[in-house]
């Protein structure tokens, strides 16, 4: 299946816990971002390819302060998830309504920021899934500067390479290395099916031991 079909299916059928469990089974045990990065709407689920953006704190207003930021957003491709790495900055709201709107119209599926955002009311109205550590209404000009994009970044404590698969929901955000994305998705979908059967049989009164011995999931 193509990326859009894959990410649609993941969004409909998977959740972070089952993906994290699958990565554990494959020996990838440090793929979940820090717990303080959350969706501004808890119902949002996001899945897509990582589009990385790197921002740093500054303490002056540079010439053309938005140059790289504009270039980064204008280069977003369909089915990407913007990964905004601010190195956990508390200085400014890197992401807001206009970047969300531009990214959505470029085909992005969401944005994850390891820092602060603004314009949350407008982002909620737009329906564009954004995850962040919190909010701050100040502009990035003279406070934060996008210096690169499409480079490896560390976001939420996890190294993210461009093209890695990102999955996020109200429980957290998982980074799936691109080289194993198809295998992880397949295994996770199988595990989710077995978990569904386990839940159904528990609701019918069977014991946890009975269903664990049958389906092997917990």
pLDDT of residue 195: 76
Q: What is the pLDDT of residues 92-132, one digit of tens each?
A: 889 999 999 999 999 999 999 999 999 999 999 999 999 99
The answer to whether residue 121 is domain-embedded is yes
The answer to whether residue 186 is domain-embedded is no
Q: Which residues are annotated as a binding site?
A: 96-99, 118-119
CATH number at residue 157: 3.50.30.40
pLDDT of residue 113: 98
The answer to whether residue 195 is domain-embedded is no
Q: Which residues are annotated as a binding site for Mg(2+)?
A: 119
DSSP 16: H
- What count of other Cβ atoms lies within 10 Å of the Cβ of residue 139? 15
The answer to whether residue 183 is domain-embedded is no
List, for the chain, all residue ranges whose pLDDT scores fall below the cut of 50: none
Euclidean distance between CA atoms 163 and 54, whole angstroms: 15
pLDDT of residue 148: 98
pLDDT of residue 136: 96
The answer to whether residue 150 is domain-embedded is yes
Please give the tally of structural domains in the chain.
Answer: 1
The answer to whether residue 97 is domain-embedded is yes
130: enclosing H helix or E strand:
strand 130-132
In sign, the C-alpha dihedral spanning 53, 58, 63, 64 is positive
The answer to whether residue 201 is domain-embedded is no
* The token pair that represents 24 in the structure block: 């554990």
The answer to whether residue 172 is domain-embedded is yes
Q: Which residues are annotated as a binding site for substrate?
A: 96-99, 118
- The whole domain housing 173 covers 3-177
């Amino acid at each position: 299946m193509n990326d859009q079909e894959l990410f649609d299916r993941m969004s409909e059928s998977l959740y972070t816990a089952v993906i994290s469990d699958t990565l554990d089974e494959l020996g990838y045990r440090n793929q979940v971002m820090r717990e303080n990065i959350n969706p501004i709407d808890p119902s949002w689920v996001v899945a897509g390819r990582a589009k990385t953006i790197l921002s740093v704190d500054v303490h002056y207003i540079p010439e053309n302060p938005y140059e790289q930021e504009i270039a980064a957003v204008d280069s977003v491709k369909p089915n990407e998830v913007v990964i905004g790495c601010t190195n956990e900055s508390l200085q400014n709201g890197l992401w807001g309504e206009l970047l969300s709107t531009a990214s959505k119209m470029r085909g992005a599926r969401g944005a994850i920021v390891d820092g602060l955002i603004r314009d949350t009311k407008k982002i909620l109205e737009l329906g564009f899934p954004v995850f962040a550590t919190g909010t701050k209404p100040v502009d990035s000009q003279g406070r934060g500067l996008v210096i690169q994009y499409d480079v490896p970044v560390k976001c939420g404590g996890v190294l993210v390479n461009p093209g890695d698969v990102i999955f996020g929901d109200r429980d957290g955000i998982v980074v799936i290395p691109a080289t194993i994305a198809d295998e992880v998705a397949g295994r996770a979908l199988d595990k989710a099916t077995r978990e569904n059967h386990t839940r159904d049989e528990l609701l019918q009164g069977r014991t946890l031991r009975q269903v664990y011995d049958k389906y092997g999931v917990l």
